[in-house]
Structure 1
Amino acid sequence: MGAFCFPRAARLLKKGDFARLRQSSRRIGSRYFSAEYRSNEDTVARLGQAVSRRVSKLAVQRNRLKRLVRESFRRQRLQLPGLDILVIPRTAAVSLPGPELLADLELLWSKLPRPQR
């Protein structure tokens, strides 16, 4: 596997992982996305997504947002600290072109806390 893959170990998959994240997390936001994060025991970042029907009634639009978030995370994964991150798009994100959303996600990743060395 290449450095820019999205392996199973980099995903939040279990209901308990999401519950722990929602229970004790910090929040950051950008113009079109918000995120909740908390440190995990691993040294790798893990991604979870929550794209509800409130964002868009059309599954095609919700899936497009999820693909864009995954792609952006996949590119930044190795530079991110060991955090569990839940990304939630805002309704305004639906109508925007992909490059603008990717730029906004880059801003979101840059707001995550970096470990002290």
Structure 2
Amino acid sequence: MDKIIEFKTTLLPFDGAKKLVNANNSESDLLYKEYYDLGDGKQICTLVFERYFFRTGGRGSLTIILENVSGPNKVKCIPSGSAEGILNIDWGASKDFVRWVENALSSYTLEEPQR
């Protein structure tokens, strides 16, 4: 998967980030989090998670950007590092990682994620 997955949500970025951090299980490590309040109700959050995938024998990361600076509340998921070999095959690992975010925020999603 080499594409950014994006969807709109009813949650403000700080609230969405809190839900994701609280929904995280022991399978993923939260490596980094950053929150900015830009005033006028504008917020941006960055979360970076890492997970080991048995199917690829390696670790993959997922960068999640939650923002409402450029319009409505958006969640952007950027998976990376889960592929193996010269053909860059990840055996669905990155899709599973992104699906975790989609499931955690499904009650607040306004539209289907763009793939």
Bigger helix fraction = 1
Bigger strand fraction = 2
Q: Say whether the fold is shared (TM-score over 0.5).
A: no
- TM-score normalised according to structure 1 size: 0.31
- TM-score normalised according to structure 2 size: 0.31
